Amino acid sequence: MWAIKNASFALSLLFLYLFVTADASPATYNPICSKSELDILSCSSASLITNSCCVESPGGLLIVAQLYNFNPGLGPGDSWTMHGLWPDFCNGSYPSSCDSSRAYTDIPAALKTYKQYQLLDYMTEWWRNDPIVTTENGTDADLWAHEFGKHGTCMSTLHPDCYPGYQPELELVDFYSTSVRLFKNYPTSNFLAACDIIPSNTTTYDLADIERCLANATGGFTPHMGCSRNTGYLNEVWYYGHLRGRIDGGTFEGTNSTFKSTCPATGIKYPPKLNSNGY
């Protein structure tokens, strides 16, 4: 009789469990990241056996990409502007457009839904589309959508399964706010000016001097420098790093570029912007 009662009790518990979990969906699953998991550095051996909601994997080599557009002069003053935040594989190759179901199109509306008005204002001023470099024809907002669709959907810690009580497009807030946060950590114009590398219509610069300057400003790590083809105008910088923790709140730790510069060794042009307002 005791065995029968216990079997009946166990069966009741099983039915209760099935009833409670019947409506559960992957979007409500919340992996709780421990402190030790959030301390794992992407691209480390430990990242391979850590919950991918807690560390970026397999795209653990992150790139903070910036633009310099002198004609017509996008963005404030002679400052560099945002291009994007990209997750490369640890060997330098990269994934692309990992989830077509999250290729969101109206980014401003999504950010307004979550009352991210200051974030949107900052992006409007500093995240400008230069189609020649970005290859994205369209508005600034089209570039924002392109960047998340191509790169943000490949970030493991931004997957909807990694959010408790996930709501549609919630991960956009983390993607864009982190992109802005990391952009602010790398004020390229200030770094270069400290080395007397300033926009000029008469002076040209050597690649080695630019790379040395930015490496000294960022802990000894050499970024990728990009120049326009055939003309030698400086127009891109990519800062490489690994991330300790999730995209939201993670710590970016620099490393060297894996991609060869597209700039000439000498005679690099870095002119003032023709229109400092960019509008």
Supply the residues annotated as catalytic. Answer: 83, 147, 151
Distance CA 173, CA 175 (A): 6
Q: Are 215 and 197 in contact (CB under 8 A)?
A: no
CB atoms within 10 A of CB 10: 9
